[in-house]
């Protein structure tokens, strides 16, 4: 088992004519990492992947694989294997010929190729399906064949471009686990692209969150969720309630933000922005729906209390989503776990919500994800 | 259940329009294709009799017209009709060569047009290729004759550049003939090829390249197998039409080199022996169909793919 090869992007900028698709990206991916690029459609994820696989050369900066500069080295010479967004299996070849295509290119005998293909078919749990055509497989099976075909070349780095986006929800969740297991088994570096944050958070060791060609944050899924570096990351990854205002005071790691609708509120300064906030700055505070609870003492005020009126309630199975209207009509979402006991609906009531200041983050104001 | 498509056809077009359309297609099939061919077939098995004897006791079926092509005479079977048979074989081989020449020429062009990134530029190129075909086939052949003639453009250019000391007789060397035939039907090769290659997913080419395949390997394993139906349909058309061409051989052929269709033409027109001409034409038709079917078998092409 290989320990995986590191991939480094040094100050990568990629332009198409006047349009800058990727701007000054710096990414260091450890060998054996499951690394994801997460961002909305059109933010430049595929473009970065194509620069790593060698289908395009960055306008500026360097791509290093295992410490070697890849400039001028074509895709057929790089130790990477790319799984395309639409899989791109060869429809006129059988499944086993597809899987062993890289060996065919290298001149291996039909017998060797067949043997290796059968091994890989066992690994992807499709034994004995080698003589079928890709069109005779289901979506999930095609998916696995594409993975086997890429692994057959023994790449140091596997690049995956939203490979699960065409699958239905159940299969997608199943394939997430499967991909993660395959990655652990083969131990090579996986670079995974997705616009689905759930996918990025569950599978990856580390995630880079992108917005319009710029990488906003690179961290573990946990950190990205708990300590988002920018308002874009905070609003794109998971759900979040945003409160806008001006910084009133700063005390160590915490700040008080004075909002014009909910009064003064206290929150933790997000680690990436410590030192970047000053009194009087425009700021944004984020509280996740699950960080709110109904305060034990209703009607009181405080720096971690928000008053709002419950207007709507949605049942989500494991939880209830309660939508509340704060002062000035602002909508707040609170998530209440479904503990099974008889629950009194809060709909129509005026409530006081409470949050733990360490569960709220504050940062300089900025652009939000538009979704 | 078999009748379902017709039922739907009538529902979509209404009974009047539906009957009219089906009637027209039937008319076309029966009167313009089936009957003329069948009457040619009938002619080819009859004697060339003066009008007075038609329907008389001498008007019976015979193989003599076919025997004439084979033996050169209706009476003896001592020697083969080498003159006409040579022309026949030469025509078939030349048509095959023209077809291969067109495949080789069109494949890179079709690949470029089909896979080029700037679709607008490819469109423009296609239009530029079509425009010369607005000109009549015979005029195009004469234009080539002017280019390849003794004092033609090509000879003048070669002499001017001192690449030739005296004019080259392109007509007698059949260079003009091959060029003319190759040019006459090249679009019928290009378009089917272009259509199939355009439908090939670029990602497949990139996936193959990503797995280390050379350009040669990519074409051999990915592009050509995908393009096979288009190549087959283009080849069939070019081969059939080249073997059956008349204008280009008439205008561009050398004085000593006859095309088989010219023999057919002579029987019909000069000798006024339609029965003999029909037999020659039927032999050409059946042979070319047999050759096409043989090639389809060798290259494992299905009949259904040809229509693509
Ligand atoms: N060859 C190209 N020429 C010009 N612009 C391009 C080219 N390739 C990509 N772009 C532009 O670069 C931007 C990023 O494209 P990219 O394909 O990397 O997006 P993406 O993040 O993969 O999106 P998606 O999630 O929809 O696949 C887009 O605005 C796109 O229009
Ligand atoms: Mg993409």
CATH topology of domain A7-226: Rossmann fold (3.40.50)
pLDDT in tens, A329-341: 678 898 888 877 6
Segment of A321-325, B184-188, B239-243 carrying the highest mean pLDDT:
B239-243
Give the ligand 1 atom nearest the CA of A44.
18
Instruction: Please determine, for the modelled complex, whether the ipTM score is greater than 0.85.
Output: no
Instruction: Give the nearest chain A residue to B227 (CA atoms).
Output: A92
More confident residue, A221 or B77: A221
Instruction: Please tell me the distance in Å from B190's CA to the nearest CA on chain A.
Output: 23
Q: Is the CB of A195 under 6 A from ligand 1?
A: yes
The model's pLDDT over A220-246, given as tens digits with 9 standing for 90+, comes to 999 999 999 999 999 999 889 999 999
Q: For residue B207, list chain A residues with Cβ-Cβ distance below 8 A.
A: 82, 84, 88, 90
* CA-nearest residue, atom 26 of ligand 1: A41
Cα-based distances in Å from A212 to A22, A199, B191, B214: 8, 20, 41, 35
Using CB atoms, pick whichever of B204, B211, B214 lies closest to residue A81. B211
Closest CA of chain A from B220, distance in Å: 11
Euclidean distance between CA atoms A145 and A126, whole angstroms = 9
State pTM to two decimals.
0.80
Q: Does the pLDDT at position A277 exceed 90?
A: no
Please, where in chain A does CATH 2.40.50.140 lie? 239-364
pLDDT above 70: residue B2: no
Structure tokens at B105: 């020429």
Residue A118 confidence (pLDDT): 93
| B208 contacts in chain A (CB < 8 Å) | 90, 101, 105
pLDDT value of residue B118? 62
A85 Cα to chain B: minimum distance (Å): 9
- Better-scored residue on pLDDT, A344 or A330: A330
pLDDT value of residue B184: 86
Task: Give me the mean pLDDT over the B167-173 stretch.
Answer: 81
Percent of chain A with pLDDT over 90: 53
Mean pLDDT of chain A: 89
What would the CATH number be for the domain defined by A239-364? Answer: 2.40.50.140
Beta carbons of B210 and A74 less than 8 Å apart: no
Give A172-176 contacts, CB < 8 A, sequence gap 24+.
Answer: A172/A199, A174/A140, A175/A140, A175/A143, A176/A202, A176/A203
Which pLDDT score, from 0 to 100, does residue A321 have?
87
Average pLDDT score over chain B: 86
pLDDT category, A3, cuts 50, 70, 90? low
All domains of chain B in start order, with CATH: 63-306 (1.10.3720.10)
Segment A100-138, tens digit of pLDDT:
999 999 999 999 999 999 999 988 888 888 999 999 998
Pure H helices in B32-81: 35-44, 64-71
pLDDT at position A166: 74
Distance CA A261, CA A277 (A): 21
- Where exactly does CATH 3.40.50.300 map onto chain A? 7-226
Model confidence at B77: pLDDT above 80: no
Scanning A78-97 for CB atoms below 8 A from B yields 80-82, 84-86, 88, 90, 92-93
B1: pLDDT strictly greater than 50: no
Q: Whose CA is nearest to atom 18 of ligand 1?
A: A44
Residue A170 pLDDT exceeds 60: yes
Mean pLDDT of B5-32: 86
pLDDT, average across residues B300-308: 74
């Amino acid at each position: 088992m290989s320990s995986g090869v590191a991939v480094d992007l040094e100050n990568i900028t990629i332009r198409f004519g006047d349009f800058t698709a990727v701007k000054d990206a710096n990414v260091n991916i450890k060998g054996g990492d499951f690394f994801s690029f997460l961002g909305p459609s059109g933010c430049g994820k595929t473009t970065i992947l194509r620069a790593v696989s060698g289908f395009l050369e960055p306008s500026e900066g360097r791509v290093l694989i295992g410490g070697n500069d890849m400039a001028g080295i074509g895709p057929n010479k790089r130790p990477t294997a790319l799984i395309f967004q639409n899989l791109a299996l060869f429809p006129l070849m059988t499944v086993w010929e597809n899987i062993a295509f890289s060996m065919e290119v290298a001149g291996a005998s039909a017998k060797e190729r067949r043997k290796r293909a059968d091994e890989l078919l066992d690994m992807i749990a499709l034994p004995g399906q080698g003589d079928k055509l890709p069109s005779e497989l289901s979506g999930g099976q095609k998916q696995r064949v594409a993975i086997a075909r890429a692994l057959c070349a023994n790449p140091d780095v596997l690049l995956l471009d939203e490979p699960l986006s065409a699958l239905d929800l159940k299969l997608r969740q199943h394939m997430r686990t499967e991909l993660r297991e395959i990655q652990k088994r083969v131990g090579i570096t996986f670079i995974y692209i997705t616009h689905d944050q759930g996918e990025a958070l569950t599978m990856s060791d580390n995630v880079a969150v992108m917005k319009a060609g710029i990488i906003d944050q690179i961290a573990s899924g946990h950190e990205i969720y708990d300590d988002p570096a920018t308002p874009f990351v905070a609003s794109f990854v998971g759900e979040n309630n945003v409160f806008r205002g001006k910084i009133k005071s700063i005390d160590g790691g915490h700040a008080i933000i004075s909002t014009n609708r909910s009064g003064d509120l206290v929150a933790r300064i997000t680690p990436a922005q410590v030192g970047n906030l000053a009194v009087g700055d425009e700021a944004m505070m984020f509280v996740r729906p699950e960080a709110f609870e109904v305060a034990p003492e209703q009607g009181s005020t405080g720096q971690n209390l928000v008053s709002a009126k419950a207007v709507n309630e949605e049942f989500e199975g494991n939880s209830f989503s309660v939508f509340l209207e704060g002062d000035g009509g602002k909508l707040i979402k609170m998530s209440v776990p479904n503990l099974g006991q008889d629950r009194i609906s809060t709909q129509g009531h005026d409530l006081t919500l409470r949050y733990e200041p360490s569960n709220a983050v504050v940062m300089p104001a900025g652009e939000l994800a538009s979704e | 259940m078999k009748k379902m498509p017709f039922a739907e056809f009538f529902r979509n077009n209404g009974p009047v329009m539906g009957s009219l359309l089906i009637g027209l297609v039937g008319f076309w099939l029966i009167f313009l294709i089936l009957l003329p061919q069948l009457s040619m077939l009938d002619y080819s098995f009859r004697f060339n009799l003066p009008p007075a004897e038609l329907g008389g006791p001498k008007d019976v079926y015979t193989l003599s017209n076919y025997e004439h092509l084979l033996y050169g005479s209706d009476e003896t079977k001592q020697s083969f009709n080498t003159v006409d048979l040579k022309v026949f074989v030469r025509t078939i081989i030349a048509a095959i060569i023209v077809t291969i020449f067109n495949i080789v020429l069109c494949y890179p062009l079709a690949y470029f047009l089909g896979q080029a990134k700037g679709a607008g530029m490819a469109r423009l190129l296609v239009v530029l290729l079509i425009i010369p075909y607005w000109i009549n086939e015979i005029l195009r052949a004469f234009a080539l004759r002017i280019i390849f003639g003794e004092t033609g453009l090509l000879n003048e250019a070669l002499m001017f550049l001192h690449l030739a000391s005296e004019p080259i007789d392109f007509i007698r060397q059949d260079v003009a003939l091959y060029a003319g035939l190759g040019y006459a039907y090249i679009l019928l090769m290009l378009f089917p090829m272009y259509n199939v290659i355009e439908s090939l997913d670029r990602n497949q080419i990139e996936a193959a390249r990503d797995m280390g395949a050379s350009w040669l390997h990519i074409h051999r394993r990915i592009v050509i197998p995908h393009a096979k139906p288009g190549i087959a349909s283009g080849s069939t058309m070019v081969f059939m039409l080249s073997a059956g061409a008349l204008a280009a051989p008439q205008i561009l052929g050398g004085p000593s080199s006859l095309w088989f269709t010219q023999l057919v033409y002579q029987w019909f027109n000069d000798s006024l022996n339609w029965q003999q001409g029909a037999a020659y034409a039927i032999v050409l038709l059946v042979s070319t169909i047999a050759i096409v079917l043989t090639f389809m078998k060798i290259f494992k092409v299905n009949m259904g793919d040809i229509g693509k």
